[in-house]
Structure 1
Amino acid sequence: MQAKNLRTLALIITICGWGVVALSLIAALSQAAWLVSYTQFAESPVMLAVSGITGAINNLVYLISVIPVLIWIYTAHDNLRKTGVTGLKRSPGWATFSFFVPIANLFVPFGAMRELANRSAGEPEELAEASVDEVTSWWGCWLGSLLLAAILLIVALIDSVPGLFVTTPFWAHQLLMIMQLVLTAGAAFFLVKVVKLITASQIDGASVLSTFE
């Protein structure tokens, strides 16, 4: 696949990404409004319903967006290899599917995306691991969101077992949910920026090899 074909994938990712940003923030704001009303003994079921509905739609859009993101990651890494860029540390397959490998998914995708951004921009092998602000911001938000989602899931699973429960203040649990939604929005926002940055680098010929054209 030619690098210019990344445009279609980037457009799809951008649309899905902004959808996740909007839906996550709406869900977070609705949840926060409901929590405030609850603490003031003026509970607003409407806000809770809005949060639940937008959260469900957000999860659906998030899952749908996974497919074009994975295809884009594989294609962008494959472009580097096809143009003869040497010294790459991760294969397209490993860079793509490491997201699903426990432990490895905590650091491999981050390193792979930094390498992709730097080498697509024409940086030499020794600078492949140099910091890229957009990538760092994306990864920080994504890891934070993943950690909070895992905590919420573990608490829910423990509470579902008869005779077991986790003593967590109600407001703390709700705040964790709100923070998780905000970080999800941040991860989507910065991922859109990362995709735009790398796609532009490859299409515009900013890499070492002009055959991206």
Structure 2
Amino acid sequence: MAYRSANKRSKALRISLYAFIIINILYLFGSVKEISSYSGFPKNAVPSADEVLSASFLTSLSAVLYLICFIVTIILWCLWIRRTYQNLYAMGIQGLRQTPGWTVGWYFIPVALIWKPYEGMKDAWNACSVSAPPSGTSLQKLAAPSIIKIWWMLWVFSSILSRSSSRFESRAHTAGELTSAAVIAIINALVDIVLTIVAIQLVKKLTERQEEKYHSLAPQPASIPETETSSSFTFKQPETNNAGSDFG
């Protein structure tokens, strides 16, 4: 297995994540508009279908864009993390707990997805350290950096909040319930934005660490021994014989 840089996949993923932030901001504005629209109703009033459609037009549009961007981002994330792990094996890193295939697969297995992706990301980060770990310390025992801990806690919290928001929104009928659902949606969008910013930094830094690790392991060109310096070199003018000159 040969080393193949993950730079291009990293850049594509980060572009998708930036788009994700923009869509979440759009969703924020839509949710604020919903709250404003329902503020004129009594809390127990049930808005008509047309009124709900008018109030939620922007959030509905951003929800469609969100779904499309979410699918694209998942695909790009899987391609990036798989390439990252392929490169770890190509560099001969020992002590990895996951294969390139399973580092993707764990994201789709219930219960295991709570900690396995975190475990894989932690190992990848520590494996890309240019400096060797202390003698006798295995890769698994190394601590995770703060950025991975923050990313994972936000990811878990966002997943729980997203499910709660969807469940609450599906049961909302009165103006008061719809307003509460919009407030939860705003909180969810804000968490998603922070999570995405952290994810962008994580992807960028991990890819950079891997490139540095690869170049530190690559064989360096042999140094050329110094020869006589120009100061000790004497240039001798060739002796000429006018009689035997070719131009004579």
TM bucket, shorter chain: 0.7 to 0.9
Gaps of 5+ in 2: 42-50, 220-248
Aligned to 2:226: none
Contact 1:75-1:92 at 8 Å conserved across structures? yes
Q: Given the superposition, is the C-alpha separation of residues 126 and 141 from structure 1 closer, same or farther in structure 2, using an over 3 Å criterion? A: same
**One-letter identity of the residue aligned with 2:156:** L
Contact 1:16-1:61 at 8 Å conserved across structures? yes
Q: Which structure has the larger Rg over C-alpha atoms?
A: 2
**One-letter identity of the residue aligned with 2:21:** V
1:67-146 alignment runs, 5 A limit: 67-122=75-130, 124=133, 126=138, 128=140, 129-146=142-159
Q: Given the superposition, is the C-alpha separation of residues 194 and 203 from structure 1 closer, same or farther in structure 2, using an over 3 Å criterion? A: same
Aligned to 1:29: 29
Gaps of 5+ in 1: none
1:116-195 alignment runs, 5 A limit: 116-122=124-130, 124=133, 126=138, 128=140, 129-155=142-168, 159=171, 169-195=177-203
1:130-171 alpha-carbon deviations (Å, 9 max, x no partner)? 1322222222222112112222344567x59xxxx9xx9433
Aligned to 1:66: 74
Aligned to 1:2: 3
Separation in structure 2 between the aligned mates of residue 126 and residue 17 of structure 1, nearest angstrom: 33
Contact 1:148-1:180 at 8 Å conserved across structures? yes
Separation in structure 2 between the aligned mates of residue 207 and residue 100 of structure 1, nearest angstrom: 33
Write 1 or 2 for the structure with the bigger share of helix: 1
**For 2:200, what is the secondary structure of its paired residue?**
helix
1:32-59 alpha-carbon deviations (Å, 9 max, x no partner)? 2331342255x89766322221221122
**One-letter identity of the residue aligned with 2:164:** I
**For 1:204, what is the secondary structure of its paired residue?**
helix
Q: Given the superposition, is the C-alpha separation of residues 153 and 198 from structure 1 closer, same or farther in structure 2, using an over 3 Å criterion? A: same
Paired residues, number: 202
Separation in structure 1 between the aligned mates of residue 193 and residue 4 of structure 2, nearest angstrom: 28
Shift in Å at residue 105 of structure 1? 0.4
Contact 2:13-2:73 at 8 Å conserved across structures? yes
**One-letter identity of the residue aligned with 1:8:** K
Q: Root-mean-square deviation (CA), in Å?
A: 2.9
Q: Given the superposition, is the C-alpha separation of residues 82 and 20 from structure 1 closer, same or farther in structure 2, using an over 3 Å criterion? A: same
Contact 1:121-1:207 at 8 Å conserved across structures? no
Shift in Å at residue 182 of structure 1? 2.0
Q: Given the superposition, is the C-alpha separation of residues 40 and 104 from structure 1 closer, same or farther in structure 2, using an over 3 Å criterion? A: same
Separation in structure 1 between the aligned mates of residue 178 and residue 144 of structure 2, nearest angstrom: 39
